Structure 1
C-alpha cells in the first residue's frame, strides 16, 4: 500500500483574548458601577451568570433587582431564574459542585441563544470556582468563542480558579474532565466578598494560598507559618497581600505556559491526590481546598519516600497543614465511610488518579517538593503511591 501526504500549517489557536486585565478593588464591590457606569448603547451584550448562594448576598441585591422586571411579588430568586436588563441577561444556577455539570454549561449557552446572543457577547461569571469555570467554558464553546469576564466571589476563585484560563465542568463523577483553555479578558477582584464566606469555603481557598506559598513564596510561607492565626482575619492586610501574591505568581506562570505543557504543572501540587479524593468520596463531600490540603500532605510523604525531601521537611509541611485543621493522615475519614478497608481505599484512589487528564503514560504524574520553592515534576510507580495511602 502506498500513500501521498499533504500537510496544512495552522497558526496557533487563539484562546479568546491575548491578555487579561486584573483589577483589585478596595471596599465593597458595586457591580452596577463596574458594568453600568456611563452605560452606552455601543456596549456588547452581557450574559451574567451566578448561583443561588451568591445571589442571596446583600451586596448583590441592587444589581439583581434591575433584572427582575416590574413584578417584585416574588423577591426570592431560585435556580433557573433568567432576567433581562435591556439587552443584557442574568442567569442564576444552583450552587455547589453537584451543579458543575455539562447540563449547567448548556443552560448558560441556551440563555445566550434564547436572548439572541452573538459572538460579540461577553459572558460574565460572578461566583466561586464552579461558576467561573463553567461560565468561561460556555463562552469558549458559544458560536466557537465569545468573550469572558469574571468576578470571583470566593477566596479559592480569587487566588486560583478565576486566574489562568482553565475552564470546564465535571463529568461522570470525575473532576474537570471536560473543558478548554480560555482566559477571561477582565477579572474583577474584590476581597470584601470573602467576609461572607462560610468557614468551609474560606478554608478551601486558604489551601490554594498555602500551596502557592510552598511553590513560589518561601518568605511569605515562613510569615504565615509563624503566625497562622493572622490569616483568619478576613479584613486584615495579610489576606489581601496573600491574594495579590497568589495572583501575581499564577500570572507569571501562565504567561509562560498557558496550556500546561511544562511549568504550569507545578500549580497542581496536591491536586492529583486531592482530585481523586474529591471524585471517589463523592463530588461535593470534600471541599476542593480540603482535598488539596490532604493531597499536599500525601505529596510530602511521597516526596520523602522517594528521597526527594527530608523527613523533617515532610513533617514541617504536615504540621503546618494540621495547624489549620486539615486532615493529613494517609486515610481520609470521608473514604472510610464508603469503603471496607484501607487497602481498598488506596486502590480506588490510584485507579481514579490513572484517569487524571495530566497523565501521559502508565505511570502517574505528581508534583513533589525537595523544599519550599524547590519543586519536581515526576512520574511515580504505583507501589510507591499505594504506600503513602494506607
Structure 2
C-alpha cells in the first residue's frame, strides 16, 4: 500500500443547490463535515460493518457541537428496504429531531441511498451529508442525489432525487475494504471510461494493478476523474430526463441479475460488470463495436477480478424483470449501448430477438 497524500475538491452544480466533493485521506471526518451542518441536530446512519471502524471518532468530534444520535443498520443489499427506513425514522422520532436535523450517511451505497431517502422524506425534506466508505459509492452513488430502496420486484424502484449538502470521500477508508468490494467499485470506474472517455480506459488498463494494490494516490485520481465526469452530467440533467441515463450503462442487465439472484448475492458492481459485457455484445451485434472492442472490455473487467458472464436466467424471466426497469418508456425497453469505446447512447435500435440472444449466457 502506497501512502502518497491526495487532496482535492470538486464542485457539483445542480438546480437544487451546489455542493462540494472533498477527496482526501486520513481526515478528521467530523471536522471536515461540521461546517456544512446548519442546525444543531445530527443523526449518523451507518451499518454494523462500518460502525466499528469509523463511527466512534466521527461521533466524538461532532458531539462537541451537536446533539448526535446514531442508527446502526444491518449490512447488506437485502436490507435496503422500507423496514430499514422505518428504523431511521424511529430514531429521528425518538430523539424529537425536527427540520433542523442533518443526516450523515457513513457507509457504502446502500447506507447512502437509504439515508438520502430518509432525509428526502422525513418532514418532507432535511439536510444530509455523504461519507462514502466504498470505492463504488465514492465514484457513483454518493454523487448526484439519487436516493432510494429496493422492492422485491425491482431494484431502486422507490426513491427520490435529493442532493446532499456535501460529500467527503476519504481514500483511507478503502484500506479496510474487502478485495471483492474493491473490485465491485472498479466496475463503476471502468463504466465511466467505456461511456465517456476512451483515453481513461487506456489509463485504467495501465493503473489497475496499482489501484488493486491500494495505491491511494492513484485511487484518489480515479475517484476525482469519475466524480468530475458525473458532476458534469448531473449539472446538465439532475433528474435523469436525458443524458444522465447514460450513467446506467450495464445497469439494466445488471439489475436483472441482482433481482433474480437475490439482493446481495451478486454485488452491484459484479452484476454491472456482467451487464456491461452483455450491453457490449449487443452493441457489436448492431455493428457499433467490433469483436476486439468486446474482448478489450472483457479483459479489463477480468483484470479487475470481475465476472464477465451472467448467471443462468431464463430468457423470459430476464425480459420480465427488464420490464420493471425505470428506463422503460411506453412499454418499450430502452438500453444504454456503445456507439464506440468512450461513446454511449440510449436507444431502442435493437430487435427483440437480438436482445433475447444476448440474454442467453453462452452468447457472452
What TM-score, normalized to structure 1? 0.83
Cα 1:86–1:46, aligned 2, differ >3 Å: closer, same or farther?
A: closer
> Displacement, 1:271?
0.3
Give the corresponding residue for 2:86: 106
Structure 2 SS opposite 1:364: coil
Give the corresponding residue for 2:43: 47
Query: Contact (CA 8 Å) 2:39, 2:102: kept in 1 or not?
Result: no
Query: Contact (CA 8 Å) 1:195, 1:235: kept in 2 or not?
Result: no
The count of aligned residue pairs is 346
Query: Which of 1 and 2 has greater Rg?
Result: 1
Give the corresponding residue for 2:336: 367
**2:60 aligned with 1:90, yes or no?**
no
Query: Contact (CA 8 Å) 2:31, 2:61: kept in 1 or not?
Result: no
Structure 1 SS opposite 2:99: coil
Give the corresponding residue for 1:340: none
Matches within 5 A, 1:29-44: 29-35=27-33, 43-44=39-40
1:381 & 1:103 partners in 2: Cα distance? 40
1:223 & 1:262 partners in 2: Cα distance? 28
2:89 & 2:158 partners in 1: Cα distance? 15
Of residues 261, 282, 287 in structure 2, which corresponds to 1:307? 287
**2:341 aligned with 1:383, yes or no?**
no
Deviations 1:22-41 (A, max 9, x none): 22223x1323323568x99x
**2:319 aligned with 1:350, yes or no?**
yes
What TM-score, normalized to structure 2? 0.89
Matches within 5 A, 1:39-188: 43-57=39-53, 59-64=54-59, 87-188=67-168
Query: Contact (CA 8 Å) 1:209, 1:242: kept in 2 or not?
Result: yes
Matches within 5 A, 1:257-268: 257-268=237-248
Greater RCO structure (CA 8 Å; 6+ sep): 2
Structure 2 gap ranges (5+): 1-13
Query: Contact (CA 8 Å) 1:17, 1:184: kept in 2 or not?
Result: no
Give the corresponding residue for 1:24: 23
Query: Contact (CA 8 Å) 1:363, 1:382: kept in 2 or not?
Result: no
Structure 2 SS opposite 1:290: helix
2:120 & 2:263 partners in 1: Cα distance? 24
2:66 & 2:235 partners in 1: Cα distance? 36
> Displacement, 1:265?
0.7
> Displacement, 1:120?
2.0
**2:185 aligned with 1:216, yes or no?**
no
Matches within 5 A, 1:315-326: 315-326=295-306
1:220 & 1:43 partners in 2: Cα distance? 41
**What RMSD over aligned residues (CA atoms) do the two structures have, in Å?**
2.3
Structure 1 gap ranges (5+): 1-14, 68-82, 337-343
Cα 1:307–1:361, aligned 2, differ >3 Å: closer, same or farther?
A: farther
> Displacement, 1:327?
2.2
